[in-house]
Structure 1
Amino acid sequence: MLRPGHFERAAMALRSELRVLVVDDMSVSRQVLLQLLERFGVRQVRTACSAEEALQLLESAPIDVVICDLCMPGMDGMALLRRMRGDSRHRRKRFVLTTGHAAGVSLGHIPVERPDAVLPKPFEARELLDCMERIAGRI
């Protein structure tokens, strides 16, 4: 468990202007990520329930980081990552892949399409915070 006051100190470490897109077909997962990111001080969070919706948002809104679930119906998280890495407008955006199947994910053989981070589900708030601090430092 995080100590009282930890979220406030952690929020100061994140860039308040960070623009995040959360993509997950499960509304509960989207809501949990949205609430945690807001507690960490990220004020610009958008959500999408599919990779297709995420692609539309990427065209219409400035986004720095995409946090996307691996397993979704239709286009999955890896397919979204491939589309983004293949598009010069989105190639450099940071990409965090979340998955409940982390043991079966082998990304080392796809260096061009590798996400910036993989966050296994279920994750602790501290793991998400650490991931976002690393990501924010690379933008």
Structure 2
Amino acid sequence: MPYMQHLKVMVADDTSVSRMLLVDSLNAIGIKNIVLAGDGEQALQIMMASPCHIVFSDMNMPKLNGLQLLKALREFGPTKQCCFILVTGKGDRAMIEEGKKYGLNNFLAKPFTAVTLKAAIEAVTGKLV
């Protein structure tokens, strides 16, 4: 069974259209086990109850933004090592550097495609088969 089918992925974004675009791209590359969160606080609660392997998080969300979510996940033992990919409309270098301080694994610039999404995952996990 391919590695991708074992992955559990969290998509955290306060915009339903953005969540569905991520889900569609993940499905296109063969990732089907996807959990959705409508904001950073909900994502944190879900991750604390049942951690995912990979988190795709929007930067600008209510309650907890992407970097606040990342910091909280890194401080909680069971989620400390999850792969965290920040999804952002602007690849602000300062924001990315701030994320790296908290263990940001990668970022995905909007707009994205299934190909660029897969590349962002593979840059962290290695080749998906």
Q: Give the drift of 1:110.
A: 5.8
TM-score where L is the length of structure 1? 0.81
Shift of 1:106: 3.4
Q: Does 1:87 align with 2:58?
A: no
User: Deviation at 1:63?
Assistant: 0.7
Question: Counterpart of 2:49 in structure 1: which amino acid?
Answer: S
**Equivalent-residue separation in structure 2 for 1:24 and 1:14 (angstroms):** 25
In the TM superposition, what is the alpha-carbon distance from 1:105 to its structure 2 partner?
A: 3.9
Which residue in the other structure is 1:40 paired with?
Answer: 29
Q: Is the contact made by 1:108 and 1:114 (CA closer than 8 Å) also made in structure 2?
A: no
Aligned residue type for 2:96: L
Please report how far the alpha carbon of residue 112 of structure 1 lies from its aligned counterpart in structure 2 after TM superposition. Answer: 4.0
* Gap runs ≥5 in structure 1: 1-11
Question: Aligned pair 1:63/2:52, yes or no?
Answer: yes
Scaled by the length of structure 2, the TM-score of the pair is: 0.87
User: What is the aligned partner in structure 2 of residue 54 from structure 1?
Assistant: 43
Aligned equivalents of 1:96 and 1:66: distance in 2? 6
Among 24, 36, 43, the alignment partner of 2:13 is 24
- Counterpart of 2:109 in structure 1 is 120
Structure richer in helix, relative to its length = 2
Q: How many percent identity over aligned positions? A: 31
Displacement, 1:67? 0.3
Letter in 1 for 2:120: C
Structure (1 or 2) with the larger CA radius of gyration:
1
Compute the RMSD of aligned alpha carbons.
2.1
CA shift digits 1:62-108 (9 cap, x unpaired)? 41000000111221000000001111211100000011121354333
